[in-house]
């Protein structure tokens, strides 16, 4: 649900997500909130009661858009909001488990709280910063979820090895040439020894996570092998 559907289509209509849509693996519909306003001038916002700067999105256009999508049935509804819980990979997995869900993109100075209280199931934030609208954040959430749909990526390893999916940051990666500006690819990656490569990658992920994201590292349940790799 957005005031700028062209933004959504411009980003989620291309690349991997776009191909997933073309293949029928996922469906993304950008519903234009302005199409549902009863105001003859297409207005969807008004001044906030009690004064203050900026404008607020009105309940009625949001409600009508929401009803058109759901048909009056309950569909899990997410509101992109600075007041929401921080989005992470676990939340992406939770949303992936749903057959469908709605993302509401706020704009202006926010949304009339009555719509949120009655029709929004959870509020999600991308982090402690401010955006001009919810579209960029909503597209990030949609991308993070849709890329995990089976078949969208060529292999599940395409996302299971990546940062955050398993609670670890991703290990360093290299491609050709073998030597670039006097910097060499680590010998273990050229060895062809798959077990040693696996251990090296695991060790690098552990070290990077411990160094750069100690908050994530503290949550890990280290295996005996993990502890041995860290001792080396």
Q: How far apart are CA 132 and CA 13, in angstroms?
A: 22
Question: For position 52, what pLDDT does the model report?
Answer: 87
Q: How confident is the model at residue 158 (pLDDT cuts 50, 70, 90)?
A: low
Question: For position 160, what pLDDT does the model report?
Answer: 57
Kindly state the average pLDDT of the residues 127-148: 96
Cβ atoms within 10 A of the Cβ of 155, count? 8
Q: Which residue in 84, 89, 129, 131 sits closest to 103, CA to CA? A: 84
Q: How far apart are CA 76 and CA 205, in angstroms?
A: 35
| Tens digit of each residue's pLDDT (9 = 90 or more) over 179-226 | 999 999 999 999 999 999 999 999 999 999 999 999 999 999 999 999
Q: How confident is the model at residue 91 (pLDDT cuts 50, 70, 90)?
A: very high
Strand partners, 197: none
Q: Which residue in 10, 58, 4 sits closest to 31, CA to CA? A: 4
| Tens digit of each residue's pLDDT (9 = 90 or more) over 35-61 | 999 999 999 999 999 998 899 999 999
Phi, psi at 183, each rounded to 5°: -105, 130
| Tens digit of each residue's pLDDT (9 = 90 or more) over 120-135 | 999 999 999 989 999 9
């Amino acid at each position: 649900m957005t005031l700028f559907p062209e933004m959504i289509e411009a980003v989620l209509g291309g690349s991997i997500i776009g191909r997933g849509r073309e293949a029928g693996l996922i469906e993304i519909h950008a519903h234009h909130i302005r199409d549902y306003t009863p105001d003859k001038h297409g207005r969807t916002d008004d001044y906030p009661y009690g004064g203050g700067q900026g404008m607020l999105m009105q309940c009625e256009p949001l409600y009508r858009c929401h009803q058109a999508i759901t048909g009056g049935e309950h569909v899990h509804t997410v509101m992109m909001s600075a007041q929401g819980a921080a989005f992470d990979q676990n939340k992406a997995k939770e949303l992936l488990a749903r057959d469908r869900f709605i993302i509401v993109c706020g704009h202006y100075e926010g949304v009339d709280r009555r719509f949120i209280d009655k029709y929004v199931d959870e509020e999600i934030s991308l982090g402690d910063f401010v955006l001009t609208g919810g579209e960029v954040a909503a597209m990030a959430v949609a991308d993070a979820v849709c890329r995990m749909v089976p078949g969208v990526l060529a292999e599940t390893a395409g996302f299971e090895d990546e940062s955050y999916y398993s609670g670890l940051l991703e290990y360093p990666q290299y491609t050709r040439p073998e030597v670039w500006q006097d910097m060499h690819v680590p010998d273990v990656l050229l060895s062809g020894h798959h077990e040693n490569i696996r251990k090296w990658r695991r060790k690098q992920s552990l070290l990077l996570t411990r160094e750069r994201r100690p908050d994530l590292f503290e949550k890990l349940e280290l295996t005996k092998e993990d502890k041995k790799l860290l001792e080396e």
